[in-house]
Structure 1
């Protein structure tokens, strides 16, 4: 679950490979069936798709290069837990859930609630997996029960991503112990998710978000609809999702047409706004609304209409391109990779290695790094995520839960190549 594996797979899958469906649609196919009676002929849009795909590939190379430069063959671990890891995970799971629920009610610090809740979710999944491996029924019931409750709660949100994240967490945690089983189940699981989720999520959103029905009623309706819906209707919904939502290359091509053809590159404007967005509103009461200012370039490029109630924020690759073209993509995503791996290194250094440091702390607090966000939100997430990580580290050090590792003490993490 280190960045070189988890983040790279999600980044490459999301930015580079999912666009195959969009290109098939562009060539006149629906799924793998030719639906257009006209022979394919390259157009200006074809060349924009190719340009954006090359930029995505460049971004992938830059991401991995940045990570490799920060990867340490022998992680420097400076602390270890002073209590049993299994007991600590249970304690951390409960404590972070309660803190996350409390901070979500206080507007000025509500952004910390996401990381805390994510720690609780990751802990519950980790406890469940450790219970399976160690054959401890209590751990399986505690961790599995909490994880199942959270998974069911994610089906009420109307968001596909929250469901997929839960599947990714449990899959990656189980993989080291059940490699063949997970690899065997991976493709059918992905297929089922891609087949069911678009229709399921759209029904939940349309009914619960509008207030027609409660979230529970909408979920039940969505389950029933998926089971009894006509296959043609599901296929139509899914194809729209695969071509326009799963991959964002259509949006990328619209930005590529707009910049620099219709307006010049943004230069440091997006970076400047990203830095200013970090300033707390308590210090700067008249600070701009981050969502509003980040959507301006979306409206300017004609990706979304100002009168529509949508959030179509850019991704790091697009913001890099809008800032300085191809060189902007390389520099920004190269730094993205370096920062992600550096944060993982620091988490392992502070929290005693891979299990607590990388799996729980890093991947929970910095989960936004899995797929990325626009620069304004991403820099904010990194800055305040680091503060949250340090606060947890400071509390554990002060309570003597984490103790400094003796210079001569060896650990499994330090021996692992």
Structure 2
């Protein structure tokens, strides 16, 4: 790609190298590593290393991996630890309250060590994303769609029931998650296009689909689907309304981040009593609306969320304390296990349980008690560390970024450019790459998402939606 300055890749690793120099000063080392992620964002988005794609305006290409995936993945992985760090210093928000339990001075060395691994992983991820980027290629295909909102609405409406049916058939279950994700993304974009094209019927239908997706997200018991619903709609409305969307989007996200920890906590507590998801959702909302001490409860729940659940550094610390000192590196065994997960249970009835396979290393490191019902699957960077330590993190995160960018570029070649390729197909089928997951779940999902993408291209060609340019 033109504009590449290969020697400048070293800029990405300066924060890690500097934090290693100051490793004898844990607080300084941590802050250098934490601020280093913002430095990496800066040098990447400024194009100091490689010129970023300019075939589209910025607001119309935000879902490309170098932007959205990097911000979500690296931001969640490397930037959220600040709340845990502040908490160990005895602060709650901006007030000093002291530590409620004994804090060893060694905790700061452990925090700094993990943050150094985080900034190394962020540097490697960005390196992989930029290394895989190439100049936009001549389009081999064109999309035939008199109305884009009709096409997107059709994709969403068709994928939703098919995904549900596939989830009930063991041999086809592999495709249900991908189709549901595609239905969600296509439906959300359809709503944005219906607003742009001022089509009343489409607006009503796509609004209904968006409402169903939001209800499904509320019933999931997780915060991420709810936030993604709002975030994606905002991103797709940016090309329509421009920067006017940003204040509304930021306000909505801020409210969600502040309210959701309490809502989800209430939801899970109520559901644990044997109540169905819909009833738990309604009761949880009712408790928030009718709570006389809402502000105080939200503040307490949100701080617990920020320090304990948003950041996973506390779990990462436990892994670094057990491996390689008590548990040896797993080396290639995790990747071998991941390849095995690709084989459908239909062809391998005695296939090991993937959840149990992942949780075995969680129990071995004593991250959670084996009697606990909590699922605390290790993050992707943790699996890389457990495999080969620091070098495993560099290799794993570089490949992560490189493969994600290649998949996005492949989708654009297969589906006539950024919009249908990255914004619809890549975002719909490869959502797992935004946040990552344990190696076994990640490899399985990416493989079957790739197969699904090839199948959909065949269908599009057969239906005349996608045609080859002579």
TM-score (structure 2 length as normaliser) = 0.82
> What is the SS of the residue equivalent to 1:403?
strand
How far off its partner does 1:82 sit?
A: 2.9
Q: 2:196 matched to 1:127?
A: no
2:150 to 63, 72, 87: 87
How far off its partner does 1:283 sit?
A: 2.2
Q: 2:110 matched to 1:65?
A: no
> What is the SS of the residue equivalent to 2:467?
strand
Q: 2:280 matched to 1:198?
A: no
CA RMSD of aligned residues (A): 1.8
Q: 2:98 matched to 1:36?
A: yes
CA distance in 1, matches of 2:448, 2:392: 25
How far off its partner does 1:11 sit?
A: 1.2
CA distance in 2, matches of 1:237, 1:223: 15
CA distance in 2, matches of 1:178, 1:18: 30
How far off its partner does 1:159 sit?
A: 1.5
Question: 8 Å contact 1:75–1:345 — kept in the other structure?
Answer: no
How far off its partner does 1:117 sit?
A: 1.3
CA distance in 2, matches of 1:253, 1:115: 33
Q: 2:261 matched to 1:220?
A: no
Question: Partner of 1:290 in structure 2?
Answer: 354
Alignment: residue pair count: 404
Q: 2:224 matched to 1:161?
A: yes
Question: Partner of 2:319 in structure 1?
Answer: 255
CA distance in 1, matches of 2:193, 2:123: 35
Question: Cα deviations across residues 16-44 of structure 1 (Å, max 9, x unaligned)?
Answer: 11111111111101112100179x99711
Question: Partner of 1:110 in structure 2?
Answer: 173
Show structure 2 runs of 5+ residues with no match.
Answer: 1-62
Question: Partner of 2:209 in structure 1?
Answer: 146
CA distance in 1, matches of 2:333, 2:276: 42
Question: 8 Å contact 2:231–2:249 — kept in the other structure?
Answer: no
Mapping of 1:165-244 within 5 angstroms? 165-211=228-274, 213-229=275-291, 230=293, 231-244=295-308
Question: Cα deviations across residues 289-345 of structure 1 (Å, max 9, x unaligned)?
Answer: 111011111111110111111111111111111111111101101100111111111
Question: Partner of 2:49 in structure 1?
Answer: none
CA distance in 2, matches of 1:10, 1:58: 16
Q: 2:136 matched to 1:74?
A: yes
Q: 2:136 matched to 1:136?
A: no
Higher relative contact order (CA 8 A, sep 6+): 1
Question: 8 Å contact 1:299–1:306 — kept in the other structure?
Answer: yes
CA distance in 2, matches of 1:130, 1:187: 21
Question: Partner of 1:301 in structure 2?
Answer: 365
Question: Partner of 2:382 in structure 1?
Answer: 318
Question: Partner of 2:444 in structure 1?
Answer: 380
How far off its partner does 1:236 sit?
A: 2.0
CA distance in 1, matches of 2:317, 2:413: 41
Mapping of 1:323-338 within 5 angstroms? 323-338=387-402
> What is the SS of the residue equivalent to 2:370?
coil
Question: 8 Å contact 1:2–1:358 — kept in the other structure?
Answer: yes
How far off its partner does 1:168 sit?
A: 1.9
CA distance in 2, matches of 1:362, 1:125: 14
How far off its partner does 1:172 sit?
A: 1.6
Question: Cα deviations across residues 223-274 of structure 1 (Å, max 9, x unaligned)?
Answer: 1222233233332222211111111111111111111222221111111111
